Amino acid sequence: MTLPGSPFLAYRGKELFLEDCSLDELAGRHGTPLYVYSQAAMLAALAPYQRGFAGRDHLICYAMKANANLAVLQTFARAGCGFDIVSGGELERVLAAGADPGKVVFSGVGKTRAEMRRALDAGVLCFNVESEAELEVLSQVAVAEGRTAHISLRVNPDVDANTHPYISTGLKGNKFGIAHDGALAAYRRAAELPGLAAAGIDCHIGSQITTPGPYLDALDRVLDLVEAIEATGLTLQHLDLGGGLGIRYTDEQPPAADVLIGSLLQRIDARGHGHRKVLMEPGRSLVGNAGVLLTEVLYLKPGEAKNFCVVDAAMNDLMRPAMYQAYMRIDPLRQRDETPVTYDVVGPVCESGDWLGRDRALAVQAGDRLAVLSAGAYSMSMASNYNTRGRAAEVMVRGTEAQLVRERESVADLFKGERLLA
């Protein structure tokens, strides 16, 4: 039986496999909590993006904030991808993975001078600038370094992505980007500043978008701007359409990436912009359904109002349910022939918000192991050490092979940089 979300995750008999690896066996070998990723699932998710852009001048930049494990970055770099980064640390990860910095776009609202210098030295493709103040600082840094910073302005089109407010980024009230009405003046200012060269225009309206309408609305507003900008004599080479395509957690039905790209390219061509290079920055849609979080049942705690299934994974391992009230499917690694009981699946962290799933029908006993599905994106990348808990280990599977790609943090790792008072 194949589970929703990924054809690479399925029961064989009563045992859950990712590709050709038993997840229960991996949990026994490496311990829990444990993240396990399928490389085949990642490449399968990338394939429709590549098909959609076939024959076009383009660059697919993986938005690595979704999952920044070096093996994940290496997988996408080998597949020809560039990277969308939002910090100097992410740039160092790209370089450590052996990727080409010339395929990197540097986004983010709060780039520091040190991060700008390092990115210029590394030779990133483009800075996605998010404010006029950033333009001024980047110009100063580029001049001091004797370099030219290629830029695109991230424009806020005031388009509602119809997603969770915490991951909506394209409205007037969001912190991201330059207001649509102020973009033309910002491009004029960029043309006046030394050390800068306008390369393109960027737009990103949010995450977990499951309908094409918001993309097309934002694209039309961006193309309106491009035409107004070029009417002043400036020239832009590329369109950066951002990312944000959603995945299936429950019953969502997002469009296939190649279908979405086809609609966007058709609109671009119809408006006379087919000669431009197109960048896109998918993140969640490439890795979300490629990963699972494995956890062991510690205790079953019946109660008058609720039954609790207490597991060893917690909100520090997986923040999405607590932060976004996100639904993530939970299944046993080995199925039991017993009547399910309805539980809230909760962790050991000392917070009432520490839950992974509410009202889940599960046939489990203490010592059994569970998989939290669709945990490849914004899961390990958002993990913390709250309650002095080490972050989980990570494993990448490829067919029958399973490789440990991040060791579990020990308690000693957590305070090795701290110092007692003299």
The answer to whether the annotation marks 282 as part of a ligand binding site is yes
The answer to whether the annotation marks 320 as part of a ligand binding site is yes
What single-letter amino acid sits at 90? E
Torsional class of 224: left (φ above 0), alpha (ψ -120 to 50), beta (otherwise)? alpha
Torsion of CA 314, 320, 325, 330, to 10 degrees: -60
The answer to whether the annotation marks 244 as part of a ligand binding site is yes
Hey, what are 34's tokens?
Answer: 């444990």
The answer to whether the annotation marks 29 as part of a ligand binding site is no
The answer to whether the annotation marks 177 as part of a ligand binding site is no
Give the Cα separation of 214 and 126 in Å (integer). 25
In sequence order, what are the beta bridge partners of 361?
342
Give the Cα separation of 104 and 61 in Å (integer). 7
The answer to whether the annotation marks 329 as part of a ligand binding site is no
Sheet holding 15-18, edge to edge: 9-12, 15-18, 21-22
**Residue in 292, 281, 297, 273 with CA at minimum distance from that of residue 374:** 292
User: Do 400 and 22 touch, CB atoms closer than 8 A?
Assistant: no
User: Do 30 and 404 touch, CB atoms closer than 8 A?
Assistant: yes
The answer to whether the annotation marks 378 as part of a ligand binding site is yes
- 61 among known catalytic residues: no
What is the length of the chain?
422
CA distances from 277 to 202, 225, 266, 285 (A): 12, 16, 14, 22
Give the Cα separation of 133 and 150 in Å (integer). 16
The answer to whether the annotation marks 283 as part of a ligand binding site is yes
Question: Exactly one of 81, 203, 309, 350 is catalytic; which is it?
Answer: 350
CA 191 to chain centre: 32
What single-letter amino acid sits at 207? S
What single-letter amino acid sits at 409? E
Neighbour-count burial for 30-65, b at 16+ CB within 10 Å, e otherwise: bebbbbbbbbbbbbbbbebbbebbeeeebbbbbbbb
DSSP 8-state class, residue 24: H
Indicate the SS3 state at residue 415: coil
Query: What's the sign of the alpha-carbon dihedral 329, 335, 339, 343?
Result: negative
Torsion of CA 319, 325, 329, 330, to 10 degrees: 60
**Triad 131, 168, 102: Cα angle to 5°:** 55
- If one counts every other C-beta atom within 10 angstroms of the C-beta of residue 310, the result is 18
The answer to whether the annotation marks 89 as part of a ligand binding site is no
Binding residues for substrate: 284, 320, 324, 351, 378
Active site residues: 350
Residues making up the binding site: 244, 281-284, 320, 324, 351, 378
Point out the annotated binding site for pyridoxal 5'-phosphate. 244, 281-284, 378
